[in-house]
Structure 1
Amino acid sequence: MGSKKVDSVKEELIELNEKLHKKLLVNENFYKQLMQKGFAYHQCLLVSLFPDSSNTYCGKLIRQDGSVFEFDIDLDSAEYSSWEDVTGSFRELYERNKVGKPWLKDVVAYDLFYELKH
């Protein structure tokens, strides 16, 4: 059962990230802010993305170096955007759940990121 769940989450993440890499998510300001913060979006793995209002999006992204960030991007004003490095807590969650709950989105995303890097 776990394998089907893992495959389903993996497919969802692959589809989301194909859109990210082709710049089909949100608008140009989203990508501009990612690049301004040092994210090579085509080498990152987007874990989640949710609209927070008409011009803000929050989510989680694994940066090209493996660091994990939670963000709240204001598309109109970059100074209102926030970025938090959550690498430590993300890795703890991964280690706690990789065996017992391998279908969790964060676990699948972390495995997929390293699978695609090599």
Structure 2
Amino acid sequence: MPDSNRPRLKVSRAGIVLIKSFESFRPRAVQRADGRWVIGYGHTASAREGLTVGEQDAELLLQYDLLPVAKALNEDVEAALNQHQFDALASFAVSVASTSSTPWPVSPCRSAWSAFWRPMCGRA
């Protein structure tokens, strides 16, 4: 369990820019092979056929989508992370989730970041 005295981090502006550099902007909703609709920078929750979004609103959707990712990272990652590590791990979580058929964002990421971070932090 993470140290409760440790400050809770959130994805920084640099982290959002990093994620946007990997997630292409989609102004119109497109349907993925798994049947889910996606719009903006990987947003699926409210995406549907015919929906359009501008870049500013797409970034707001991304920030909203990152809230549960940040919450999960703060609650599940035992190692003390600096801001760069936190942002990189959030980007990793978004990347894992974007290739998963499980609803975005947290479910498919827990096992992926556990497998990645636990060995690096000396935990089995």
TM-score by length of 1: 0.27
Instruction: Select the structure that is richer in strand.
Output: 1
Higher gyration radius (CA): 2
TM-score for both structures, normalised by structure 2: 0.27
